[in-house]
Amino acid sequence: MAGDLERGRQKVDWARAHMPVLEGIRRRFETEHPFRGLTLSAVLHVEAKTAALALALQAGGADVRLAAGNPLSTDDDAVAALKEAGVDTRAEKGESISAFRDGIRAMLEADPDVIIDDGADLVALVHTGRKDRGKIRGSTEETTTGVTRLKALERSGGLLFPAIDVNDAEMKHLFDNRYGTGQSTLDGIFSATNLLVAGKVCVVAGYGWCGKGVASRLRGLGGEVVVTEVDPVRAIEARLDGFAVRSMLDAAPTADLIVTVTGNTHVVRAEHFRVLKDGCLLANSGHFDVEISRTDLDGMAVSHKTVRPNVEEYRFPDGRRTYLLAEGRLVNLAAGQGHPVEIMDLSFALQALSAEHLAQHGRTMAIRVHPVPPELDRRVAEAALAPLGVSLDTLTPAQVQYMAQWEGGS
């Protein structure tokens, strides 16, 4: 649906006003033009914060092209504002899978110099479609799933250009994955259901950084949180963080809400649906819509209807019902507004600096998956201190000297 331009402008202005780190970078880009003459193709969740990133890159001289990272995550108002600003944007909320794929294809047809990806769909298309680096200097990657795909390409020896793993930068995963996913997942669940968390048994599948965030926020709202894990170390970490840890099969019969954040497939499937508590809500915050098996739900349910926007009721033969939120797509963006603005300020500041790094050095960088250069991570941290109301102590000369005695020692 065509977005409302005025509302789009307001949303983008609001985001920019709360993204001081990215705005500082935008002002520098405006004078230095690090992307002059370059095309930047991005496949991202297209919403107001993403628009702020696109505008910062554009201020740096880039011809910015943007396509949706998911068919349900687009904010059409933000698209209207982006188009007005001259960013070629291919995204519409609820678009068909073929329109979604066409959008990504258009990003490649733009013959980009730098790629910004969230989930590695554009990088995958280069490797399966064109199979040629062209003038691509490199790509940056936003999310855990995308990094997993990039590392698989690297291992196979088939990676065509350097990639920067923004996801694993400290200023990204410690905050975006934990506090961003923690808050925005709940935002999506609230918007879809308008139900209470307090007193509910909430099962969180996966205790990576995203799972930690979701579990802690659910507990903060009075949920009785159970974590499921396949990794023994993470299972113990969750237990010592104070959560019950059970198998999904044990947890499902008492679950009022299940949230998947594993990055894996069919985490909730037929065997769990057979024992699921009546009325259980099912939500996914992982990148792909594969964590809750819709195939099994469709196969087992005797009826299926939409009961609210973003809530589908499935009824099993014995009368039990379950409610799938946002079609099993990432609930935080499909039903909510994505991560809080201040969090995306940090993540997108890293994206902007990493894209600049590739524009400057990509042609001579080794073809592998690189971490974000530590000095960029630190620059973002330093720029974020004052806006977040944080001040640091500094080491006294005696403390510097004290620490120096250990340096270089074994």
Binding-site ranges for ligand ADE (CB under 6 A): 44-45, 47, 49-50, 118, 142-143, 180, 184, 332-333, 338-339, 344
- Closer to ligand ADE by Cβ: residue 165 or 256: 165
Q: What angle do CA 356, 361, 364 make, to 5 degrees?
A: 155
Q: Output the CA–CA distances (angstroms, integers) from residue 158 to 16, 24, 113, 293, in the order listed.
A: 38, 37, 19, 31
- Closer to ligand ADE by Cβ: residue 311 or 333: 333
- Closer to ligand ADE by Cβ: residue 39 or 347: 347
- Closer to ligand ADE by Cβ: residue 118 or 291: 118
CB 330 → ligand ADE: shortest distance, Å? 7
Give the tokens for residue 352. Answer: 């902007």
Whether the Cβ atoms of residue 347 and residue 142 lie closer than 8 Å to each other? yes
Give the tokens for residue 109. Answer: 């047809």
Phi, psi of 132 (to 5 degrees): -145, 135
Residue showing the smallest CB distance to ligand ADE in the complex: 338
Residue 148 identity: T
Sign of torsion over alpha carbons 307, 313, 315, 319: negative
CB 377 → ligand ADE: shortest distance, Å? 18
Helix and strand element counts for the chain (H, E): 18, 15
Residues paired with 44 in a beta bridge: 68
- Closer to ligand ADE by Cβ: residue 322 or 354: 354
The residue with tokens 């698209």 is: 79
Where do runs of H (alpha helix) occur along 197-276?
209-220, 232-240, 248-251, 270-273
| Pairwise CA distance, residues 350 & 381, whole Å | 10
CB 184 → ligand ADE: shortest distance, Å? 6
Q: What angle do CA 366, 123, 371 make, to 5 degrees?
A: 40
| Pairwise CA distance, residues 164 & 27, whole Å | 23
CB 333 → ligand ADE: shortest distance, Å? 6
| Pairwise CA distance, residues 141 & 144, whole Å | 8
CB 50 → ligand ADE: shortest distance, Å? 5
The helix, strand and coil proportions of the chain, stated in percent and rounded to the nearest 5, come to: 50, 15, 35
| Pairwise CA distance, residues 119 & 149, whole Å | 8
- Closer to ligand ADE by Cβ: residue 182 or 338: 338
CB 46 → ligand ADE: shortest distance, Å? 8
- Closer to ligand ADE by Cβ: residue 50 or 89: 50
| Pairwise CA distance, residues 365 & 373, whole Å | 12
| Pairwise CA distance, residues 101 & 104, whole Å | 5
- Closer to ligand ADE by Cβ: residue 332 or 354: 332
CB 142 → ligand ADE: shortest distance, Å? 5
- Closer to ligand ADE by Cβ: residue 181 or 293: 181
CB 61 → ligand ADE: shortest distance, Å? 23
The one-character DSSP state at 2 is: P
CB 147 → ligand ADE: shortest distance, Å? 13
Give the tokens for residue 310. Answer: 């973003």
CB 334 → ligand ADE: shortest distance, Å? 11
- Closer to ligand ADE by Cβ: residue 297 or 346: 346
